Structure 1
Amino acid sequence: MAHKKPALDARNRGYPALSAMFTDDRTRGTDVRPGFAAMLKFLRKNCSSTCIVIIDDITRLARDITVHHKLRAAIAATGARLECPSFEFGDSSDDILVENLLASVSQHQRQKNGEQVRNRMRGRLLNGYWCFSCKPPAYEFARVAGQNTLLRREPIASIVTEALEGFASGRLQTKAEVQRILQDSPRFPKLPDGTVKFDRATEMLTVLNAGFIEYLQWDVSIRPGRHQGLITYDTYQRIQRLLNENTKTPSPR
């Protein structure tokens, strides 16, 4: 797979001009790689000729040692040869040791970067800021006092408030009725087919809409958020009690 200066790398090694160039934007910690899959398809189609795959650095192949060897094997299975201007691939025990060490270091760097990103995001959650790109439809991100903060998005916020308060008061008795209210509102965002899925109604019943933050996967217990709630925390608690009561109510026989 070619990246920064593949044509120059090819000329420096005395190879003819590149036949094709493939790139991947996805994380190199996985083998689910559209660009790599397209390259393998190209190699199999041209297996009658000698193909050389040039990567500008060993880390460009994978940042996971298991994935590294899986992709190496996939390239070899097509009959192609893998080369890199900054590393000589070889079959001796010393060559394999160095390759494994470099792949392991690359994996460690990816994992370390992931830990640092996670720690920064967890720190923002602990401080009451929602830090994920996924957000309720009634909110939008905006810069407030230098921080990326959730702000109410009207008129959607008012529509959701009405639906949630209706459920808490008993006027809407099921999640299906909440879904129907959202479906019938012309200003609530719909899917391309014009519908509001049941899961969307379930997403409305979260503590985020009460102005609080919680993310138990990262040990972030419930705490006040830096955003305005669509409903009060008391209303949220009543909704949770109603949901628990409905779960415990036996189905009619």
Structure 2
Amino acid sequence: MTENQTTSKGTAIIYCRVSSIRQTVDGSGLESQEQRCRAYAKEHGYEVEAVFPDNVSGGGDFMRRPGMVALLSYLDAQRGKSYTVIFDDLKRFARDTEFHLKLRREFARRGATIECLNFRLEDTPEGKFIETVIAAQGELEREQNSRQVVQKMQARVENGFWVFRAPIGYKYIAAPSGGKILVLDEVLAPVVREALEGYACGHFSTQAEVQRFLERSPYFPKDRPDGTIRSMTVTRFLKKAVYAGYVEAPKWGVSLRKGKHPPIISFETYQRIQENLEGRKYRPAARKDFHEDFPLRGFVLCDCCGRAMTAAWSKGRYKHYAYYRCETRGCEVKGKSVPRAKLEDTFAEIIKGLQPARELFDLTKVMLRDAWDMRFASATDQRAELTRQIGDVQRQIDCLLDRLVEASSPTVISAYEAKIDKLERDRLLLNERIENMVPPKGRLEDCIELALRFLSSPWNIYEKGDYLMR
């Protein structure tokens, strides 16, 4: 019988799978599998009706593979029709003995048969035994590969390399020594720094304020289609030690240690963030209704009662009017409005008048330089004191480790481990302070320039700055 005379043996569905998206992009695994399966179907007289690809591993569980789930759903929708499912290799089916057998039953329950290009499936005791052995071999290889990958990742974390998905504010580049290393993302790193330092210093009093700040940023990736961010995302964002230049992997037993990547914030700032998250400091919440229309709301005080004035738009006959007013109960001028233009113009005149004389400007320079020299001179003494404190902390750690070895109670062991972890973080903080104790040369000029620019023309900064700056 010639090729054109081949009779149709039935309807087939092709299933192809690779373990990662990278194999789909860099290689041609799915295409080559489909090509071989189509050739097999044509040779055996099958008519291919659909192809279902997968580019995820699923860890052996076929229900975690979108392509396999879609294939089973397709069979459910075609009740009463017989199909033959063709796949390239037995390992593409399910690299797990339990799931292999379960998937076989799922196909049988739907009336579908399966055929493999490199293995003949036989419904005999010997055939089932060999099939099970091959499935178990695939499971062994998968678990061995997984263990090897974890071991390599764990070793890199122990050496200070971040091995997980790049945190927002960083990106991966190829390292000269091999592998990948984190570097700062020039666009996102400043946004991340402002959010983290703002929460640490109290500029953002709550996580909700950090969330609103990040949602306003056009660069920060959003969780939801409506452009908002989940509150849990903000919490995880604030807890990441990687932003302080450190790495850790508790699930692998790798404690906090100095990383090979540049930090976005200092470790001291990171510690303040954790204290704020744990509620050790009182942080009054800021208003949610700050608006660019009223930059002075909450800052201008009532001349009668001394309380902060509020502001709002009032509707007139033909248009809306902007007013500031006091709403303090018992105030003699409660409810009396001050036009926004009048109040803000008066404020502008005050700011414009804050122009220091030249003599004051020169005196400020001298004061700043003297303060800088005094701090520089005391840096050596402070470094010696911090070195002594590090020695004390290390002795405490060594003592606790000795006690930990002798302890047998799980409660005592847990308490010792928690105390050691805290002391380790204190030691890291002290080391960072020592590293930053003596400021680099040229830093004084940078600080003076910023300070004097503010003192020289506060009005220009207020007028040209964005809403947060104002």
Structure 2 CA distance for aligned equivalents of residues 182 and 41 of structure 1: 40
Aligned to 1:34: 66
Q: Judging changes above 3 Å, is the alpha-carbon distance between structure 1 residues 151 and 15 closer, same or farther for their aligned structure 2 residues?
A: same
User: Is the partner of 1:21 in helix, strand or coil?
Assistant: strand
User: Is the partner of 2:168 in helix, strand or coil?
Assistant: coil
**Partner amino acid, structure 2, of 1:200:** T
Aligned length: 247
- Does 1:243 find its partner at 2:277? yes
Deviation, 1:233, is: 1.0
Is 113-122 or 38-47 further displaced after alignment? Answer: 38-47
Aligned to 1:207: 241
Aligned to 2:231: 198
Aligned to 1:91: 123
**Partner amino acid, structure 2, of 1:195:** T
Deviation, 1:68, is: 0.7
Residue identity (%) = 36
Matches within 5 A, 1:219-238: 219-238=253-272
User: Is the partner of 1:204 in helix, strand or coil?
Assistant: helix
Aligned to 1:138: 169
Deviations 1:218-250 (A, max 9, x none): 11110111111111112212222232235999x
Q: Which has the higher contact order (CA 8 A, sep 6+)?
A: 1
**Partner amino acid, structure 1, of 2:102:** K
Matches within 5 A, 1:1-253: 1-3=14-16, 4=33, 5-12=36-43, 14-27=44-57, 29-32=60-63, 33-44=65-76, 48=80, 50-133=82-165, 135-146=166-177, 147-191=179-223, 192-202=225-235, 203-246=237-280
User: Is the partner of 1:209 in helix, strand or coil?
Assistant: helix
Long gaps (5+) in structure 1: none
Deviations 1:141-167 (A, max 9, x none): 223434422112234322322332232
Is 212-221 or 199-208 further displaced after alignment? Answer: 199-208
Q: Judging changes above 3 Å, is the alpha-carbon distance between structure 1 residues 189 and 97 closer, same or farther for their aligned structure 2 residues?
A: closer
Structure 1 CA distance for aligned equivalents of residues 220 and 87 of structure 2: 48
Larger radius of gyration: 2
Deviation, 1:104, is: 0.6
**Partner amino acid, structure 1, of 2:164:** F
Long gaps (5+) in structure 2: 1-13, 17-32, 284-470
Q: Judging changes above 3 Å, is the alpha-carbon distance between structure 1 residues 178 and 96 closer, same or farther for their aligned structure 2 residues?
A: same
Q: Judging changes above 3 Å, is the alpha-carbon distance between structure 1 residues 50 and 195 closer, same or farther for their aligned structure 2 residues?
A: closer
**Do 1:163 and 1:181's aligned partners in 2 also have CA atoms closer than 8 Å?**
yes
Structure 2 CA distance for aligned equivalents of residues 239 and 206 of structure 1: 10
Deviation, 1:76, is: 1.0
Structure 2 CA distance for aligned equivalents of residues 50 and 169 of structure 1: 67
Q: Judging changes above 3 Å, is the alpha-carbon distance between structure 1 residues 88 and 230 closer, same or farther for their aligned structure 2 residues?
A: same
Deviation, 1:102, is: 0.8
**Do 2:37 and 2:117's aligned partners in 1 also have CA atoms closer than 8 Å?**
no
**Partner amino acid, structure 2, of 1:138:** G
Q: Judging changes above 3 Å, is the alpha-carbon distance between structure 1 residues 65 and 212 closer, same or farther for their aligned structure 2 residues?
A: same
**Do 1:136 and 1:204's aligned partners in 2 also have CA atoms closer than 8 Å?**
no
Structure 1 CA distance for aligned equivalents of residues 146 and 115 of structure 2: 28
Is 158-167 or 66-75 further displaced after alignment? Answer: 158-167
Structure 2 CA distance for aligned equivalents of residues 212 and 114 of structure 1: 25
Structure 1 CA distance for aligned equivalents of residues 111 and 220 of structure 2: 55
Structure 2 CA distance for aligned equivalents of residues 248 and 104 of structure 1: 58
**Partner amino acid, structure 2, of 1:20:** A
**Do 1:164 and 1:205's aligned partners in 2 also have CA atoms closer than 8 Å?**
no
Q: Judging changes above 3 Å, is the alpha-carbon distance between structure 1 residues 181 and 79 closer, same or farther for their aligned structure 2 residues?
A: closer
Structure 2 CA distance for aligned equivalents of residues 107 and 8 of structure 1: 28
Q: Please give the root-mean-square deviation of Cα atoms over the aligned residues, in Å.
A: 2.6
TM-score, normalization by structure 2: 0.48
TM-score, normalization by structure 1: 0.85
